[in-house]
Amino acid sequence: MDDVSLSLYPGEVLGICGENGAGKSTLIKILTGLYQPNSGTIEFEGKEVRLNAIRARELGISAIYQELTIVPELSLAENLFLGHPPTHGNGMVDYKKLYADSREILEELGLGYAPDQVKAGELGLGAQQLIEVGRAVGRKAKVLIMDEPTSSLSHQDTQRLYGLIRRFREQGYGIIFISHHMEEIFEITDRVAVLRDGKVIDVRPTSQWTVDDLVFAMVNRRVDQQFPSKSSSAKPGEVILELKNVSNRKVHNINLQIRAGEIVGIAGVNGAGRTELLKTIYGFYPYTQGEMYFRGKPFREKSIRKVLDAGIVMVSEDRKREGLILGQDCQQNIALSHYRELSRLGVVSEKRMRQMAKEGVRKYDVKTPSLAKETGKLSGGNQQKLILARVTYGNPVLFLLDEPTRGIDVAVKMEMYRQMIAFAEAGAAVLMVSSELPEVLGLADRILVMHERTVVADIPKESATSELVMNYATGGK
Q: Give the per-residue pLDDT at 425.
A: 92
Q: Give the per-residue pLDDT at 37.
A: 92
- Read off the pLDDT band of 453 (50, 70, 90): very high
Mean per-residue pLDDT over the chain, rounded: 89
pLDDT per residue as tens digits for the range 351-375: 999 999 999 999 888 889 999 999 9
How far is 163 from 184, CA to CA, in rounded Å?
13
- Read off the pLDDT band of 98 (50, 70, 90): very high
With a cut of 90, say whether residue 11 has pLDDT above it.
yes
Q: Which residue has the higher pLDDT, 329 or 302?
A: 329
DSSP state of 323: I
With a cut of 90, say whether residue 416 has pLDDT above it.
no
Instruction: Calculate mean pLDDT across residues 441-448.
Output: 93
Using alpha carbons, select from 116, 131, 119, 21 the residue that is nearest to residue 68. Answer: 131
How far is 436 from 179, CA to CA, in rounded Å?
14
Q: Which residue has the higher pLDDT, 197 or 38?
A: 38
- Read off the pLDDT band of 261 (50, 70, 90): very high
- Read off the pLDDT band of 160 (50, 70, 90): confident
Instruction: Calculate mean pLDDT across residues 395-404.
Output: 93
How far is 77 from 63, CA to CA, in rounded Å?
19
pLDDT per residue as tens digits for the range 132-159: 888 888 878 899 999 888 876 777 778 8
- Read off the pLDDT band of 390 (50, 70, 90): very high
* The dihedral formed by the CA atoms of 462, 467, 468 and 470, expressed in degrees to the nearest 10: 130
Buried b (16+ CB within 10 A) or exposed e, 317-333: bebeeebbeeeebbbbb
Q: Give the per-residue pLDDT at 221.
A: 60
Which residues, other chains included, contact 67 with Cβ-Cβ below 8 Å and sequence gap of 6+? 320
Q: Give the per-residue pLDDT at 233.
A: 66
With a cut of 90, say whether residue 428 has pLDDT above it.
yes
Q: Give the per-residue pLDDT at 7.
A: 96
- Read off the pLDDT band of 295 (50, 70, 90): very high
Q: Give the per-residue pLDDT at 444.
A: 94
Q: Give the per-residue pLDDT at 232.
A: 67
pLDDT per residue as tens digits for the range 26-50: 899 999 999 999 999 999 999 999 9
